[in-house]
Amino acid sequence: MSETTESATTAKRAAAPKFWRDDALPFIEARSIEDGRQVCYAKHSHETFSIGAVTGGRSVYLNRNAREWVGAGAVVLMNPDDVHACNPIADERWSYRMLHVDVAWLTGLQHDLGFSDNHAFRAFSQTMTTAPALYNGLNCLHAILVDDEAETLRKESAAVTFFSEVQQSLNPAPLPDDDASRQLTRAAEFIAENCTRPLKLEEVCKAADLSASHLIRAFKKRYGMTPHAYLINRRIQYSRAQLRQGRLIADVALDAGFADQAHLQRTFKRLVAATPGQYRS
């Protein structure tokens, strides 16, 4: 292999996202990239709680109504359904490590620690921190998770330790408890539960007991996207779960409600910044 070819191959590997999963630890998934200069995310959301460490370069970080530049040493946080995007600045070699955590698992940990005893998941009010302890802790946990020689007990113990620190270091957001909030939650839940089939606006309005104009306006204010965009995000989340099981991309596309495999490919790349094949493998 020539030096030029070898260099190109190395660069290609650095630019490809790496995913880590373990059937023994189904509540957590890791993603990393060494050179994200070509990464471009559209605004999207996750059903998981997500937390990441920027390890190099700078990027523009959007989360709900916040917009800021973040660089190496920053830890970014995304509550479930927070609309966000994080894209590199200019031609800087941007790199990061991201953890996606199951909400039910994290809620159980919150209860064990005495947070949110009588409630579901307690969201965080902060979207970013530069606390060295959390930055170093996330990098340490990621290293343990991707270590093929580390035992499951060590990985799970490290996850509990790190996320206990997250709970005790960051401020929880106020708990919404008004009728309007509950109606929008019902709308979001209805979309999530029926995301693989065609939906009509009137169905969502009926589930939430809201008029179409009120629903669209309030839903976008609450979730940062329209009901239709939320539906597409949920289809991608469904697709990710199916791909993790090793299913054929074409079958997943049709089951998730996309027109065909090409439609899933385009949408997946736009929202996940990776192809379905890269994610599945």
Q: What's 109-144 look like in SS3?
A: HHHHCCCCCCCCCCCECCCEECCHHHHHHHHHHHHH
Is 174 inside a domain boundary?
no
Alpha helices in 86-211 (DSSP H): 103-112, 132-145, 152-169, 179-193, 201-208
Question: Domain end: 169, 199, 219, which one?
Answer: 169
Residue 35 and residue 78 in one domain? yes
Mean pLDDT for each 10-residue chunk of the chain (281 residues)? Answer: 56 78 95 85 89 93 87 94 85 90 92 75 89 96 96 95 90 64 90 94 92 88 89 95 94 95 95 91 80
- Res 237: pLDDT: 94
Residue 155 and residue 203 in one domain? no
Is 190 inside a domain boundary?
yes
Question: Domain end: 169, 193, 226, which one?
Answer: 169
Both structure tokens of 153? 């007990």
**86 and 77 in contact (C-beta within 8 Å)?**
no
pLDDT in tens, 164-223: 999 888 866 665 556 678 899 899 999 999 999 999 999 999 999 988 888 888 898 888
Residue 144 and residue 247 in one domain? no
- Res 134: pLDDT: 95
DSSP conformation letters of 7-42: HHHHHHHHHS-EEE--TT-TTEEEEEES--TT--PP
- Res 42: pLDDT: 83
**Mean pLDDT of the chain, nearest integer:** 88
Which has the closest alpha carbon to 41: 68, 14, 66, 63?
63
- Res 36: pLDDT: 78
Residue 30 and residue 149 in one domain? yes
What is the domain range of residue 267? Answer: 179-280
Both structure tokens of 257? 């409600």
Is 67 inside a domain boundary?
yes
pLDDT in tens, 260-276: 999 999 999 999 989 99
Residue 46 and residue 141 in one domain? yes
- Res 94: pLDDT: 87
CATH of the domain at 121: 2.60.120.280
pTM of the model: 0.80
Q: How many domains does the chain have?
A: 2
Contacts within 8 Å (CB) and 24+ apart, 206-209: 208/183, 208/184, 209/183
Residue 59 and residue 17 in one domain? yes
Residue 31 and residue 68 in one domain? yes
Both structure tokens of 266? 């385009």
- Res 187: pLDDT: 94
Is 220 inside a domain boundary?
yes
- Edge-to-edge strand list for the sheet holding 84-88: 66-71, 58-63, 84-88
CATH of the domain at 224: 1.10.10.60
Is 28 inside a domain boundary?
yes
